[in-house]
């Protein structure tokens, strides 16, 4: 299996979300990031410890919105849509 630029870019976005989340939470070892890939859209699922959920979401969802904005900007580069879902 050869790694295309698109696959490498999606892996990098997944790692970027993981890096940001680990920097925000008290339990960085409990951060899990998975990717559900569709034809046009990839869903990046972020799961953190229950007590860290507020830190990832932020006041009025500002932190979550900022992470989604970064993800959206990065995914535009490879002409693919990426969506961040924060799971409980």
Pairing of strands 81-87, 41-47: parallel
Tell me yes or no: is domain 5-87 CATH 3.30.300.20.
yes
Residue 85: strand, helix, or coil: strand
Residue that is written with structure tokens 């976005």 in the block: 13
According to the model, what pLDDT value does residue 3 have? Answer: 67
What are the extents of the domains in the chain?
Answer: 5-87
Q: Which residue, among 45, 53, 42, 54, has the nearest Cα to 81 in the 3D structure?
A: 42
User: Considering the entire predicted model, what is its pTM?
Assistant: 0.87
pLDDT digits (tens, 9 = 90+) for 41-81: 889 999 999 999 999 999 999 999 999 999 998 888 878 88
């Amino acid at each position: 299996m050869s790694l295309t630029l698109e696959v490498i870019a999606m892996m990098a976005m997944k790692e970027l979300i993981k890096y940001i989340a680990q920097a925000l939470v008290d339990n960085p070892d409990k951060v899990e990031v998975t990717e559900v890939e569709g034809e046009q859209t990839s869903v990046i699922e972020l799961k953190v410890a229950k007590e860290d959920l507020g830190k990832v979401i932020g006041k009025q969802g500002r932190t979550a919105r900022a992470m989604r904005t970064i993800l959206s900007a990065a995914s535009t580069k490879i002409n693919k849509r990426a969506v961040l879902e924060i799971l409980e």
